[in-house]
Amino acid sequence: MGFAGDTKQQVLGEIVAEQQRAQRLMATGLVGQATITGVRETGASVNDNPVVEFDLSVALDDRDPYAVTHRQVVSRLVVGNFAPGATVPVRVDPVDASEVMIA
């Protein structure tokens, strides 16, 4: 039984860490645009919302576009809006450009 409790604690810890990362990126992240080049469902979900893996081509001012793969929880109500070719706003960690969030 301890395993199930440990797993639940681990998942809750990951959710809290993701929320803190999102808040940090919204507050301090560089504003950019990304073109979605690929979308994959991971099979995981949080509160019935899918965790989706995106391949992105990220564009920031004064930098060449670069590719990154990113996972994010997306509301099941709007997941269909995230298709290859779509452009989305992103926030990028100023220290680690591979850390992005669709804003």
**Domain of 61?**
2-102
Rounded Cα gap, residues 31 and 101, in angstroms: 10
What share of the chain has pLDDT > 90, as a percent? 59
Q: What is the pLDDT of residue 3?
A: 46
Give tens-digit pLDDT for 43-75: 988 889 898 999 999 999 989 999 999 999 899
SS3 state of residue 4: helix
Rounded to 5 degrees, φ, ψ at 60 are -120, 150
Residue 97 CB neighbours (<10 A): 15
pLDDT at 2 over 50: no
Cβ partners under 8 Å of residue 59, min gap 6:
32, 33, 34, 35, 65
pLDDT tens digit sequence for 68-91: 999 998 999 998 899 999 999 999
pTM assigned to the model: 0.81
pLDDT at 11: 64
Domain count, the chain: 1
